[in-house]
Amino acid sequence: MTDSKDTPVIEIRDLHKAYGQLEVLKGVDLVAPRGHVVSLIGSSGSGKSTLLRCCNLLEDSQQGSIRFEGEDVLWKGTGLARHPADRMQVTRIRTNLSMVFQQFNLWAHLTILQNVMEAPVTVLKRDPKEVEEKARHYLAKVGIGDKADNWPAQLSGGQQQRAAIARALCMEPRALLFDEPTSALDPELEQEVVRVIKALADEGRTMLLVTHDMKLAADCSDHVIFLHQGKIEEQGAPAELFGNPKTERLRGFLSATA
């Protein structure tokens, strides 16, 4: 691992991923420099979630390389993390690349505060008192400081997703991975989550953002990648990509989502 400021947080080269005979990623490159937001757009089934899942080692892959802050973290073939040293690396990577899912996956039997504290206390073995202070801080940051002692079922979808973001932040990760964080929400609740994501982008966090919300991608990304059937069809700065799409496929995609 190097500690150069210029080392990208995430660097993916020529990534190939198949599920059995189904080739899902066919040679994808992606670089997320520190402090940048890289958005992934594309039709359903184009491989966006798979790409995120490969980054934090929820999936293995067959070819190519994935680096996290210069450290090679790619697994080839099956049998993720059989060796104890590998398991430690997996924990470290997942801690540092914290994922927020479309379905917020809060534990129903834990309060909001307990949900946010759970991983830092049980996985990272941090001091519960200190974690509680941080958890309250992040809950306040996403605007639900008053919900700490509620159960997930007592919150709206937008509040639950903000709790899930606070939970990801409480790991104090090096980067956040968002997989369609607003698509399970009613339109009127989307905006409260969009505001939180934009605020995180503004404070210079490194993020990979899979989204169907082109306005969000346009507003907060440094770089946008359009995936089509497991390949990068087009990519660039948001103004360029959205303002002047070059390929027929991207033009078609953007007019269908507008």
Binding map of Mg ion across residues 1-40, x = CB under 5 A, - = no contact: ----------------------------------------
Q: Which stretch binds Mg ion (CB under 5 A): 41-49, 144-152, 184-192, 227-235?
A: 41-49
Question: With contact defined as beta carbons under 8 Å apart, do 179 and 49 qualify?
Answer: yes
Name the minimum Å distance from CB 22 to ligand ADP. 6
For the four alpha carbons of 19, 20, 26 and 32, in that order, the dihedral sign comes to: positive
Name the minimum Å distance from CB 209 to ligand ADP. 13
Q: Which stretch binds ligand ADP (CB under 6 A): 47-55, 121-129, 138-146, 189-197?
A: 47-55
Choice between 42 and 64, CB closer to ligand ADP: 42
Q: Longest C-alpha distance within the chain, in Å?
A: 55
Q: Is there binding between residue 49 and Mg ion (CB under 5 A)?
A: yes
Q: How far apart are CA 176 and CA 157, in angstroms?
A: 20
Q: Is there binding between residue 39 and ligand ADP (CB under 6 A)?
A: no
Among 39, 46, 98, 235, binds ligand ADP (CB under 6 A): 46
Choice between 173 and 181, CB closer to Mg ion: 181
Under 8 Å CB-to-CB from 49, ≥6 apart: which residues? Answer: 179, 180, 210
CA 81 to mean position of chain CA atoms: 21
* Other C-beta atoms lying within 10 Å of the C-beta of residue 253: 21
Name the minimum Å distance from CB 41 to Mg ion. 11
Among 9, 12, 15, 24, binds ligand ADP (CB under 6 A): 24
Q: How far apart are CA 229 and CA 250, in angstroms?
A: 12
Name the minimum Å distance from CB 56 to Mg ion. 14
- Report the chain's C-alpha Rg in angstroms: 18
The CA-atom distances, in angstroms, between 67 and each of 7, 136, 165, 198 are 10, 32, 24, 26
Q: Is there binding between residue 228 and ligand ADP (CB under 6 A)?
A: no
Phi, psi (deg, nearest 5) at residue 18:
-130, 145
Choice between 46 and 161, CB closer to ligand ADP: 46
Choice between 49 and 211, CB closer to Mg ion: 49
Q: Which residues pair with 61 in a beta bridge?
A: 76
Which residues contribute to the site for Mg ion (CB under 5 A)? 49
Which residues contribute to the site for ligand ADP (CB under 6 A)? 19, 22, 24, 42, 44-50
